[in-house]
Structure 1
Amino acid sequence: MKAALSRRVMQGLSVQTVIDVGASTGSWSKMAQEFISDAIYLLIEANSFHESKLVEFKKQNPKVEYLLAAAGDYVGELYFDAQDPFGGTASHEVIHTSDITVQVTTIDAQVKEKGLKPPFLMKLDTHGFEIPILRGAEETLKNTKLVIIEAYNFKLTQDCLQFWELCDHMKKKGFQPIDICDPMHRPKDQSFWQMDIFFIPNSSREFKSNKYN
């Protein structure tokens, strides 16, 4: 992840706001600050298990805000599987016996409410709930320079997009893959499980050339 993010910064990536969805303890944002130190960071996390770590991270970083809620396609409430603190999944309907009700908001609503400034970087670590989150970020995406999404080779949920479907969806949203990192293989059979995909706007200069050198 560090190498991939460094490559984007070396190619001129400059953002004013980083939106970290599925922020967990804030470890990803802490890492990103090594490369993007001047931006405002908004961390969105649905699982209250991580709140003490987020409070600590915010105290140490004046440019960090956090929100204890899920991100989705409306403002209100939805269900969240909180059994695994590092693997929770949001859903519009009850799926697991461990599902709890949590607050949900949209990225667009938070950008407007908090007066967050573009250009944006958006990171999603959301275990199959990417489409509702992207649906709730239509306006923000118009001013986003980089979207990093944890993508999967298997369908984690009924509505989860596998990585090639996600690439097609993002192409329709105006973004194409420019990098990948951290491929993971599941232990039981060493099958490719997931990776992080870096998406940048279709209009980016990188796509002006199809030459290797």
Structure 2
Amino acid sequence: MRYSTLIKQLFIVAKSKWALQLVKGKLFSIASFEVVSNLKKMVPQLDTIIDVGSNSGQFSKVASHFYPNAEINAFEPLPDLYLKIEKLFDSNKKVKTYNLALGNEVGVINFNKNKYGHISSILDISSDNIHYPKQENDLSQIKVEIKTLDSLLLTNSLKAEITLLKLDVQGYELEVLKGAEESLKNIDYIIIEANLEQLYTNQPSFTEMNTHLMSKHFELSGMLDFNLGHKNKYIEVDLLYKKTTKKD
């Protein structure tokens, strides 16, 4: 862990109630606790959460703590990580898990699995990326099932509910949004991990992401967290978008 990352985490622990939860026997990811605790201040109530790119389930775990009545749908394409999610939420009937990637197509797709699971992606890591570990033997490619959010019909009955879509798919966020044209009509908030550096090949810029979300009637509401890279550069920020129009 880099010194700057440690300082950031110590700051989060000092200003939040993460340590209090640890004393109570509840161990949460520090980064996810920061995101969701900040989200709770801005959005007090959520009825449905769609967690795309669930990794080991850390976001959904914290979300189920802060929003205990919310229905959570957690998506993770990597089989080894999915098994952890399945086990984690085995007794929590509020959480449904899916061993799927989401995007703008239905079928099977190549997925780049990295030793560092949180940077695995459908996209290739950019040759210009100086922020991620460079061990070539840590990369392997596997086949995963992919669907569109629209094809799953998750939001069809959500018109009276407050719904959040969380996207952390390592540069593939725009493709997920393109496969959710109908679903977005019934979604109130979106969290995206926006890349400020070219981390992946063919990754859309923040400007492209922001323009697309604005065209779908979502406006930037605030920043929830950030990640630092080489030489303390801001490389990723977790941003909250809010719908500017009422549901149909």
TM-score in terms of structure 1 length: 0.84
Aligned pairs, number? 197
Q: Does 1:25 align with 2:56?
A: yes
| 1:70 equivalent among 101, 106, 112 | 101
Partner amino acid for 2:121? T
* Counterpart for residue 37 of structure 2: 3
CA deviation string 1:12-67 (max 9, x = no partner): xx443211000011110111122222121111101111122112222131111111
| 1:17-166 equivalent positions in 2, closer than 5 A | 17-84=48-115, 85-91=117-123, 98-112=140-154, 117-118=158-159, 119=161, 120-166=163-209
Query: Which of the two has greater helix per residue?
Result: 2
Deviation at 1:70, TM superposition (A): 0.6
Partners of 2:123 and 2:203 within 8 A in 1: no
Fraction of identical pairs, as percent: 28
Structure 1 unaligned spans of 5+: 205-213
Q: Does 1:183 align with 2:200?
A: no
Write the distance in 2 (CA, Å) between the matches of 1:15 and 1:192.
Answer: 29
Write the distance in 2 (CA, Å) between the matches of 1:67 and 1:3.
Answer: 25
Deviation at 1:165, TM superposition (A): 2.7
CA deviation string 1:144-172 (max 9, x = no partner): 11100001111222331222332122111
**Other structure's SS at 2:93 match:** coil
TM-score in terms of structure 2 length: 0.73
Query: Which of the two has greater strand per residue?
Result: 1
Write the distance in 1 (CA, Å) between the matches of 2:201 and 2:62.
Answer: 32
* Counterpart for residue 210 of structure 1: none
Partners of 2:158 and 2:186 within 8 A in 1: no
Write the distance in 2 (CA, Å) between the matches of 1:171 and 1:49.
Answer: 36
Partners of 1:171 and 1:202 within 8 A in 2: no
Structure 2 unaligned spans of 5+: 1-34, 125-135
Q: CA RMSD in A?
A: 2.3
Write the distance in 2 (CA, Å) between the matches of 1:47 and 1:74.
Answer: 18
